[in-house]
Every structure is written in structure tokens, then in C-alpha cells.
């Protein structure tokens, strides 16, 4: 419902200011008392609702007794009541009359919407277990740049980075996470990529989308910039799926190839090598390896364009917006020992990779158009002076 500029801005301002008002009205003890009340209760009940499929067991448009739903969920009645009555304080389910449960808009969404269920799976199966291991991880591996020393890796006894580990050992969780990420990507407005850079100024050019998944971004660009052609690279299963899903009218301008971006780049002499939401999944040492793998393929003047989630500089955003960005940053730490980088961190990373990488500029754009409060995406333009 919030699509116009004024509505989006008003909603963002309302959230920001009521967040501050709540903090002021509760006083300075509130953040710490929350560790005994809200935060753990939210996590615990969310996990239980997901695991026991409680939303699926409540009839749509009707009410049911606590006893009926508890039996279907395989829960003791007292435990069931504890879980759902706490959830009701977050407007998840309601009790229309004593001892009966019915859906609210939020709980019905969980029952009916695959994306919401996939996001819940990510929270319950990936984020929550890693969170309780973060302190142990910080103590055992201070400053680590190894994905297999992340809190998620410790919680899952993982030997490989997250996506590889899920694919090999937990295919259902891998499917849920992939669906959630793909769905969120398709929901992002076209302008996030179309207006992030002056693509038309390239004229006739070849763009290699490294780690480009099934080619969603290249399809968007191809429809609007007919003089551009594209090579989408990813691991074989993903590249094959992208090739099968490619619309017929774009098949002469978009091709797919199998490539691991830690190995030498096979497409030599392209005009642009593009990375979208890749670097924030990797610690600095691995990002440098990704850049190094490009060097044998680069011609003088080639461009490396990176679009990545961005952490704005301290005190440059409203605390509500900053909270969203910092939470994303913490997720990257928990999952990968990586981060959403700030401006200075980007400059340091590019400088460490090779002096011939010339950072021409960094621009930050809101993920949602016309939303000055929204979390940011950075667009880096790098020139190869080889």
C-alpha cells in the first residue's frame, strides 16, 4: 500500500519517530530489560510457531479451540497457550473468545505465503542458532576472515561456506533460503539497477555478470538498453536453470556460462565485469581473491562495477534506518564473517587488491525508490589501469 513518494516518506518518518518515542517513554533501562522479556520471547515463540506449523493448523476465516490446535501441533496444552498468547502480543494470532484462537493478518500470511515461510525458515534455522554462538565465535576466532569460523558455521558444525554446506547437507533449508533470496530480488524495483549507473553511455558493450544467478539483472538491463550484450556466470546448476528460463527474445543477447569467481576469469577483454550482492558475502581476503581472478582477463580501461549492500558512515542516517543497515551487517558477520562495507572500508579493500584498480567513485542509492529512509545499495565504478 505504500507506493507513492509521500506515503513511503511518511511511513518511514512515522516508524523512525515512534521508535524514538518508545525509547524515551521507557527510559534508559528498556534496552537491557528487553533481554529478559521481548527479544528472547519473540525469538522463542517465532521458532515454535514455525517448527510446529501452528499457523497451518489454525483454520482460515474461522476459530478453533486451543485444545484442537494443540493436539494437531503435537504440543501440551499449557505449552501451546504459553506460545500463542505471547505471540498475540505481537499481533500474531488472536483470541476472539476465551480458549479459542484465530488468525490475524500476520499469522494468515505465514500460513499462505511461501516467501514469508522461507524468511521464517532463514530466521529460525540459520540466524537464531548462529546468534547464540556469536560470543563463542568472537572469543575463539577474533578477527577471523574465514567463513568456516563464523557463528553460523560453528552452530552447524560446518566445514564449507554457508551455501555449499546447505546444498550438500541440508537441501530443504537450501531450497528455502534460495527461494527467499530470489523472491526478494524479484520484488526489488527495476530502478534500483536501471538508475544506479548510466548504462546507455556504454554504447555497444559486453557486460559479464559474475555470480549473476539466473540472470535477473541482465534481463532487466537488456530490455532497456538494446546495445548491451551479457554473459551471466554462476555455478552449473544455477546457470543451467537461468538458461532454461531465459525468454526467447533475449537469447541472442544473453548467454550463460559456468564459472567459480575464485578461479581465473574465462571471458577475456569484456568491457564491464559486474558484481551484484557478491562481495558482502565474503571477508576481505576472499574479496581480494575475487578481484585478483579478474586480472588476467582485463583489458586496459575495463570497468569493474560493483553493486552491494552498503553501510552508511556513522551518524549519517536516522537511527531507525541505521538499525536496519547495522542488522544486515550483523547477519553478514554471523553467516560469513563478512560485512556490508562503509565507504572507507571499500577504499581500503580496493587499494589492497592491486594499485592498478582505480576507484572512480562510490554512490549510495536507497533500495526503495523515493525513500530517503531506506537501507542503501552502493555502486562502485572501478577502472583497470593495466
Would you kindly state where each structural domain of the chain is located, as residue ranges?
34-112, 119-184, 189-384
Question: What pTM value is reported for the model?
Answer: 0.90
Rounded-to-integer distance, Cα 314 and Cα 65, Å: 50
- Residue 15: predicted pLDDT: 84
- Residue 366: predicted pLDDT: 61
pLDDT above 60 (res 370): no
- Taking residues 160-187, report their average pLDDT: 88
CB 215 within 8 A of CB 246: yes
385 contact partners, CB below 8 Å, separation of at least 6: 300, 301, 356, 357, 358
Residues 31-83: tens digit of each pLDDT: 887 777 778 899 999 999 999 999 999 999 999 999 999 999 999 999 999 99
Of 35-44, 105-114, 161-170, 266-275, the one with minimum mean pLDDT is 35-44
pLDDT above 60 (res 374): no
> CB-side exposure of 324: number of CA atoms within 13 Å?
17
CB 253 within 8 A of CB 228: yes
The confidence band for 369, taking pLDDT boundaries of 50, 70 and 90, is very low
- Taking residues 16-38, report their average pLDDT: 84
- Taking residues 118-145, report their average pLDDT: 96
Residue 378: enclosing H or E segment and its boundaries? Answer: strand 376-384
Of 172-176, 260-264, 347-351, the one with minimum mean pLDDT is 172-176
Domain 189-384 has what CATH class?
A: alpha beta
Residues 196-253: tens digit of each pLDDT: 999 999 999 999 999 999 999 999 999 999 999 999 999 999 999 999 999 999 999 9
- Residue 217 sits at φ, ψ, to 5 deg, of -65, -45
Collect contacts of 109-116 with beta carbons under 8 A, ≥24 apart.
110/49, 110/50, 110/55, 111/55, 111/56, 111/58, 111/60, 112/60, 114/179, 114/183, 115/179, 115/180, 115/183, 115/184
CATH code at 34-112: 1.10.10.10
Amino acid at each position: 500500500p505504500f507506493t507513492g513518494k509521500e506515503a513511503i516518506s511518511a511511513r518511514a518518518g512515522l516508524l523512525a519517530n515512534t521508535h524514538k518515542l518508545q525509547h524515551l517513554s521507557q527510559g534508559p533501562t528498556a534496552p537491557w530489560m528487553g533481554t529478559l522479556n521481548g527479544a528472547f520471547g519473540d525469538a522463542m515463540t517465532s521458532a515454535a510457531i514455525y517448527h510446529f506449523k501452528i499457523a497451518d493448523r489454525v483454520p482460515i476465516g474461522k476459530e478453533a479451540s486451543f485444545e484442537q490446535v494443540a493436539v494437531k501441533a503435537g504440543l501440551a496444552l499449557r505449552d501451546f497457550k504459553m506460545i500463542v498468547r505471547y505471540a498475540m502480543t505481537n499481533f500474531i494470532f488472536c483470541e476472539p473468545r476465551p480458549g479459542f484462537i484465530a488468525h490475524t493478518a500476520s499469522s494468515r500470511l505465514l500460513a499462505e505465503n511461501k516467501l514469508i515461510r522461507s524468511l521464517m525458515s532463514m530466521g529460525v534455522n540459520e540466524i537464531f542458532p548462529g546468534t547464540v554462538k556469536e560470543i563463542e565465535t568472537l572469543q575463539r576466532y577474533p578477527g577471523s576472515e574465514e567463513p568456516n569460523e563464523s557463528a553460523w558455521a560453528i552452530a552447524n558444525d560446518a566445514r564449507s561456506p554457508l551455501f555449499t554446506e546447505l546444498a550438500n547437507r541440508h537441501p530443504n533449508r537450501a531450497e528455502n533460503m534460495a527461494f527467499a533470496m530470489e523472491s526478494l530480488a524479484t520484488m526489488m524495483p527495476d530502478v534500483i539497477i536501471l538508475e544506479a549507473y548510466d548504462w546507455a553511455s556504454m554504447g555497444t558493450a559486453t557486460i559479464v555478470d559474475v555470480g549473476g544467478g539466473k540472470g535477473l539483472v541482465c534481463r532487466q538491463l537488456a530490455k532497456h538498453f538494446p546495445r548491451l550484450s551479457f554473459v551471466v556466470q554462476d555455478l552449473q546448476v544455477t546457470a543451467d536453470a537461468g538458461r532454461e528460463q531465459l525468454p526467447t527474445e533475449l537469447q541472442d543477447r544473453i548467454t550463460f556460462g559456468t564459472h567459480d569467481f575464485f578461479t581465473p576469469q574465462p571471458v577475456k577483454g569484456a568491457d564491464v565485469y559486474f558484481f551484484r550482492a557478491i562481495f558482502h558475502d565474503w571477508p576481505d581476503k576472499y574479496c581480494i581473491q575475487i578481484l585478483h581472478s579478474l586480472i588476467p582477463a582485463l583489458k586496459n580501461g575495463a570497468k569493474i562495477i560493483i553493486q552491494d549492500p552498503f553501510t552508511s558512515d556513522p551518524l549519517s542516517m536516522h537511527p531507525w534506518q541505521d538499525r536496519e543497515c547495522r542488522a544486515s551487517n550483523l547477519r553478514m558477520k554471523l553467516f560469513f564473517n563478512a560485512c556490508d562495507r562503509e565507504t572507507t572500508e571499500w577504499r581500503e579493500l580496493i587499494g589492497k587488491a592491486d594499485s592498478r584498480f582505480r576507484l572512480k567513485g562510490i554512490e549510495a542509492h536507497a533500495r526503495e525508490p523515493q525513500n530517503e529512509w531506506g537501507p542503501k545499495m552502493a555502486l562502485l565504478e572501478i577502472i583497470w589501469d593495466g
